[in-house]
Amino acid sequence: MKYIHFKLLKGRKRLQDWFQFHIYAYNQIGICFSVIGYGFKFYFDRNDLKKWRKKWQKKIFKDY
């Protein structure tokens, strides 16, 4: 009985480790995707800003 209990505990521990590892991996991947997402957002926002600034400058120069 003790042996079976030990085996069960070992199995549960392995399962916990497996879950912890996958949660950790998932978090790392999640962080990675967030960073990539922010990178893309920043890049596109910056490009839009550049376009907008050019338009805005033209408008100002047109007014003067």
Domain assignments of the chain as residue spans, ordered by start: 1-64
DSSP tally for the chain: helices H, then strands E? 1, 0
Per-residue pLDDT of the chain (64 residues; tens, 9 = 90+): 566 666 777 777 888 888 888 888 887 888 778 777 777 777 777 777 777 777 777 766 665 5
Count Cα neighbours of 7 within 13 Å in the Cβ-side half-sphere. 4
- pLDDT computed for residue 61 by the predictor: 64
